[in-house]
Chains A and B, each alone.
Chain A
Amino acid sequence: AQKVTQAQTEISVVEKEDVTLDCVYETRDTTYYLFWYKQPPSGELVFLIRRNSFDEQNEISGRYSWNFQKSTSSFNFTITASQVVDSAVYFCALRNTDKLIFGTGTRLQVFP
């Protein structure tokens, strides 16, 4: 079965704190793709990153970084020095054939 679990329903931090959003996935496929999307209050899903199963290198983009570990089936997302503008719901997703299977999302609230 294909499944994505985001155990953290909601996280609250104060600006400038670092925060990690967890994502655990299940798949029997040997080749697969993982994604993170951000959904700000406006509602539109914004693409953040795509990672394929053959590339386990961690990725950093500005204040964002991703830690992909096949051994634990995890694809965690860290925001360094969080800002109020980071407040949103973040979704982790797994590609299953041609569609995305989403986790239930983690709502991040960053307070000034």
Chain B
Amino acid sequence: GAGVSQSPSNKVTEKGKDVELRCDPISGHTALYWYRQSLGQGLEFLIYFQGNSAPDKSGLPSDRFSAERTGGSVSTLTIQRTQQEDSAVYLCASSFRRGADTQYFGPGTRLTVL
């Protein structure tokens, strides 16, 4: 079946603008995760959703970052007032359930903040 999809694949924005990144998880997967991959920080966890439970936001680097998941499926990661240090690849993953289940990753969105 279809894997995790993300859009856009590339996004270039100016410093101070807001951006929205979208993730469509694998159908039937109840858990959804956002990670960020940057040269300086490697792969780091941002936020995770499990069903209708409150999300784990412990990895969000600042209050400019937020995410929502509508109807237990599609998720949007929003970055407000983007800064150059936000430039990175944003990866979304989903798993059938939380915890030990394997996380399957999408192709990522490359964000460049000028």
Contacts and interface: CB of A to CB of B under 8 A. Distances in A.
User: Do A and B share a complex?
Assistant: yes
Contacts of A45: 91, 93, 105
Interface string B87-114: 0010101000011101111111010000
B75 interface: no
A66 to B, nearest CB: 15
Contacts of B104: 47
Given A45-B91, A105-B42, A98 B50 contact: yes
B99 A98 contact: yes
Interface of B: 31, 33, 35, 42-45, 48, 50, 56, 59, 89, 91, 93, 98-100, 102-108, 110
A44 B105 CA distance: 7
Interface of B, helix, strand, loop or mixed by DSSP: strand
A99 B102 contact: no
Given A99-B33, A105-B42, A43 B99 contact: no
Contacts of A99: 33, 45, 48, 56, 59
Contact of B45 (A37, A43, A100, A105): A100
Contacts, number: 54
A41 to B, nearest CB: 12
B56 A98 contact: yes
A50 B105 CA distance: 14
Most interface-central of B43, B50, B59, B107 (chain A CB within 10 A): B43
A102 B56 contact: no
Contacts of B45: 99-101
A64 interface: no
A75 interface: no
A95 B100 CA distance: 7
A43 B108 contact: yes
A42 interface: yes
A107 to B, nearest CB: 13
